[in-house]
Amino acid sequence: MVTLLAARSQMGMSLAFHIIFAVIGVSLPLMMTIAEWRWRRTSDPAYLLLAKRWAKGTTILFGIGAISGTVLSFELGLLWPRFMQYAGPVIGMPFSLEGFAFFTEAIFLGIYLYGWNRVPGWLHLFAGVIVSLSGLLSAIFVTLVNGWMNTPTGFRIVNGQFADIHPLAAMLNPAGIPEAIHMVLAAYTAAGFATAGIHSWLLLRRGRNRFDELAIGIALAVGGCAVLAQSISGDALARMVAHYQPMKLASLEGQFRTETGAPLRIGGLPLPEQRVTKYAIEIPDGLSLLAFHNPHARILGLDQESETDWPNVRMVHICFQIMVGCGSLLSLFALLSAWFAWRKRPLSRQPTFLKTAVLVSPLGFIALEAGWMVTELGRQPWVIYHLMRTKDAVTTTPNIAVTFLGMTLIYCVLGVIVVWLLSKHVIAQPDRQQVEGSGVLA
């Protein structure tokens, strides 16, 4: 049991860090490519400076993300050898494809970063596009694996073994695609709003300048579009969960009793001992309506499953509320910004807007982490939903607590240094030379 807890903690910690590096590594290339494209169209040097700054950020994050990704690929085997032994062949397809997508990303990132003066302009821009696309594909492939752990398909079970394995059917499992879309949009949302927030803060400190204004424009466009699409994607994902993983939905929503016309709970604290979720704002028929698009639909409650197989309902429900809450606030902010941008003066001249942008900037990342807590904790006690328990997948290696502590320490140090490096390279004030004569700062 101690090994299980340590292994879960180590995996969770590695994922929690990796997801931050990976998300920035997926979305910064998109923003950097947009900036370069704008520069090639407008010859505005501020765009070029922005592209170069974001490219530096991408390098730092890609380097660290590649390392934390390698750590995860090893940890799959080191911590969960039994899971990999049985599931490896079934979920190998997306992992293999991810390997090639990762290759492509690394190759073209190398060309992008070090090729400014070595390759023709169109090839450079093309390299940026390929980096953005392959980062996107990597994220999709990896999330497809997580989808399979939630809705395993593409095999039969014969004598406790996987048989008739169809790697493509396993890859295209029901949860995979909705989850992958949700993840990709979450990446753009989190990085977009965080970047917009950072540049708003800088704009407030430095005074008006084109560099920060253009940065906010691109970042907010990326993040805003993504968060608005996220509501559709979230709805699709929730309906998938309702259909394939009703018990997971029940723990997301704190639904203990099976009932028709189940209410949607906003906030609230599930009390598993009393089998009730208290202090929530309840919208009558809301959950039935959202989950099955029918106000009288029957929603299965946790009473359908033995309590020993419940996930940590309280944690799952709270994380879910945090994710939805942050997403809603960001959507509201995106809509308001769009409206103000259309109706009023440029947003960058409105201190209230800038201050709000700073305030909401961490919400995307909070939602992202909370969302992964929901999907991972909500799947427990299973590593492969209703097929293999997490405790049966864990390694026999002793002293995992030691590696967990060691890794945590290393990751914390890494995190601090990465933040410091980013502050030096990506968001630092453009120096005099870059500014003077080029009209970068208005």
Partner 1 sequence: MNPPMILAGIIIAAVIWYCLLAGADFGAGFWDLFCSGPRADKQRELIASAIEPVWETNHVWLILVVVLLFVGFPSAFSTICIGLAVPLFLILLGIILRGSSYVFRAYFTGNIQTQLYWGKLFSIASCATPLFLGIVIGAISSDTLVLTDGVPNRGWLSTWFHPFPVLVGALSLSLFAYLSACYLTLEAEEPQLQEDFRRRALFAGFVSLLAAFATYAAAGVFAQEILNGLSRAPDVWLVELFAAIASLVAFQGLWVRSYRRARIAAAAQVGLIVLGWGVAQFPYLVRPRLTIAMAAAPVNVLVDVEIACAIGGIVLFPSLYLLFSIFKAHRRSVVSKDAVA
Where along the sequence are the contacts to partner 1 (CB under 8 A)?
56, 59-60, 62-64, 66-67, 69-71, 73-78, 81-82, 84-86, 88-90, 92-93, 95-100, 102-104, 106-111, 113-115, 117-119, 163, 165-168, 395-398, 403, 406, 410, 414, 417, 421, 424-425
Task: CB nearer to partner 1: give 42 or 96.
Answer: 96
**Minimal distance, residue 264 CB to partner 1, in Å:** 41
**Minimal distance, residue 216 CB to partner 1, in Å:** 24
SS3 per residue for the chain: CHHHHHHHHHHHHHHHHHHHHHHHHHHHHHHHHHHHHHHHHHCCHHHHHHHHHHHHHHHHHHHHHHHHHHHHHHHHHHHCHHHHHHHHHHHHHHHHHHHHHHHHHHHHHHHHHHCCCCCCHHHHHHHHHHHHHHHHHHHHHHHHHHHHHHCCCCCEEECCEEECCCHHHHHCCCCHHHHHHHHHHHHHHHHHHHHHHHHHHHHHHHCCCHHHHHHHHHHHHHHHHHHHHHHHHHHHHHHHHHHHCHHHHHHHHCCCCCEECCCEEECCEEECCCCEEECCEEECCHHHHHHHCCCCCEECCHHHCCHHHCCCHHHHHHHHHHHHHHHHHHHHHHHHHHHHHHHCCCHHHCHHHHHHHHHHCCHHHHHHHHHHHHHHHHHCCEEECCCEEHHHHCCCCCCHHHHHHHHHHHHHHHHHHHHHHHHHHCCCCCCHHHHCCCCCCC
Task: CB nearer to partner 1: give 163 or 308.
Answer: 163
CA 229 remoteness from chain centre: 14
Task: CB nearer to partner 1: give 30 or 64.
Answer: 64
Give Cα separations from 196 to 192, 292, 368 (angstroms).
Answer: 6, 36, 17
**Minimal distance, residue 374 CB to partner 1, in Å:** 27
Residue 17 half-sphere exposure, CB side, CA atoms within 13 Å? 27
Contact 331/230 with Cβ under 8 angstroms? yes
Task: CB nearer to partner 1: give 116 or 310.
Answer: 116
**Minimal distance, residue 261 CB to partner 1, in Å:** 45
**Minimal distance, residue 63 CB to partner 1, in Å:** 4
**Minimal distance, residue 295 CB to partner 1, in Å:** 44
Contact 315/383 with Cβ under 8 angstroms? no
Task: CB nearer to partner 1: give 114 or 339.
Answer: 114
CA 273 remoteness from chain centre: 32
CA–CA gap between residue 226 and residue 134 (Å, rounded) = 18
Task: CB nearer to partner 1: give 108 or 353.
Answer: 108
**Minimal distance, residue 121 CB to partner 1, in Å:** 14
Task: CB nearer to partner 1: give 43 or 396.
Answer: 396
Task: CB nearer to partner 1: give 41 or 118.
Answer: 118
Task: CB nearer to partner 1: give 346 or 406.
Answer: 406
Task: CB nearer to partner 1: give 352 or 396.
Answer: 396
Task: CB nearer to partner 1: give 398 or 437.
Answer: 398
**Minimal distance, residue 52 CB to partner 1, in Å:** 13
